[in-house]
Structure 1
């Protein structure tokens, strides 16, 4: 049985941070940018190395403020703080915090925007609406909740291969065994309704990541090959009993081969929602 709250399937291995550090507000939260105004206070949940968080900080200006939280203390928050220092950004703080404890953590604080990116897919799928209710509890009246989640089953690639299909099937099995929901993007409206948001308070959109140039293919394929063999994904996959070392090695080799293909193309679909908080 899964734990009450799913453990992040990839962990914070270098191969994972390689991907997370690539993320920016522009390539991972463009749907939210029109809503961000100077002076706003934003909570970024699951901030990781803080690249999106720090972009938000530059957008709200010196009188705005951003708070980024991660569920476990460690090097990841140290890296985020060091990046903030290197970029000269001071209107930001990084703290340890859990999405299910927001109301307790921020008793006397409310935010204009509460944001998550690639977080809900990794928590206990039976508690996602509860997480959204916690997010609403720390949002100011008139504020918004912004969510962007991948929809893995909608991921597509070329050229087709049995190996890439095996990777997708394996990822789906392991993610669900870990308690999460890899096809979260399509479920965002349903989850928001379950959290008590009226349908006319929910705005939906979709975004993509696409990798096809030689540099993009090399970076993306190497990252996934390394994740498969070196990140917490391997530990989680083996612990689940759904895969063995041979299969993981085969999947890593598949990624390497895909990256070498000049006709290679890979795209990930994301669901996006803006939920308006009136009271």
Structure 2
């Protein structure tokens, strides 16, 4: 196990507007490409689990197995545990930890995955190397990434995932892409309201001000633009998410 801690700062933080958006994510709408590879008795690690909605969903696919959700921001795990309890899911646990130095022995898990994490870390190759270390031979390591955010992370992560995986020592790397699309009146309103608040109240806002990237007035204009977008009857947005499925040889 390496001795290393995360150097990047998570741009969005865990303001209610951010967690509300993350809680929309499910196994089906976020990691559907992985689901056909799951078996009922697998032991799985979900890195960067946040409020745990994906983790809880995956637990249903491994009824004789177990899934662990790992999250660096330990405070959000209270909500993750509450989500599991509310759904009566018991083959699950949530732990605080840093994926740059996982506290697990080599070859521990059948599947290790992370969703929308690698673009936010300082050393994605190192994290993938750790994921490879703790997954069993023949097991799956999966990652997804988009872009846009820079705070010690990589804004073009989606197009680099496969290259990072090969640098981490994976030879068998399969690539795919999923699109989120918000087009209905209800979905547009939901996404708009999320960013109306996030633009002013989340770590996205405080970091922008602290680093001199925007003034309060700039953020207010951004927030208002999102509000106006959400009221436009022709508004829609699509968000691509690049995916890799890596097999440990």
Shorter-chain TM band = over 0.9
Aligned mates of 1:73, 1:58 — CA distance in 2? 24
Instruction: Report what 1:270 is aligned to.
Output: 241
Instruction: Report what 1:179 is aligned to.
Output: 152
Instruction: Report what 1:29 is aligned to.
Output: 31
**Deviating 4+ runs (over 2 angstroms):** none
Instruction: Report what 2:96 is aligned to.
Output: 96
Deviations 1:168-201 (A, max 9, x none): xxxxxxx32x111122111101111211222xx0
Q: Deviation of residue 108 (structure 1)?
A: 6.5
Instruction: Report what 2:118 is aligned to.
Output: 120
Structure with the largest fraction of helix = 1
Q: Give the number of aligned pairs.
A: 245
Q: Deviation of residue 247 (structure 1)?
A: 1.0
Aligned mates of 1:30, 1:269 — CA distance in 2? 14
What is the RMSD of the two structures over their aligned residues, measured on CA atoms? Answer: 1.3
Contact 1:147–1:273 under 8 Å retained in 2: yes
Q: Deviation of residue 151 (structure 1)?
A: 3.6
Contact 2:178–2:240 under 8 Å retained in 1: yes
Instruction: Report what 2:43 is aligned to.
Output: 41
Q: Deviation of residue 109 (structure 1)?
A: 6.2
Cα distance, 1:91–1:4 mapped onto 2, change above 3 Å = closer
The answer for unaligned runs of 5 or more in structure 1 is 153-174
SS at structure 2 position matched to 1:11? coil
Cα distance, 1:12–1:37 mapped onto 2, change above 3 Å = same
Instruction: Report what 1:148 is aligned to.
Output: 144
Contact 1:151–1:269 under 8 Å retained in 2: no
TM-score by length of 1: 0.85
Map 1:44-59; keep pairs closer than 5 Å. Answer: 44-59=46-61
Aligned mates of 2:12, 2:120 — CA distance in 1? 10
SS at structure 1 position matched to 2:60? helix
Instruction: Report what 2:72 is aligned to.
Output: 71
Contact 2:6–2:98 under 8 Å retained in 1: no
Q: Deviation of residue 72 (structure 1)?
A: 2.6
Aligned mates of 1:223, 1:6 — CA distance in 2? 24
SS at structure 1 position matched to 2:9? coil
Q: Deviation of residue 225 (structure 1)?
A: 1.3
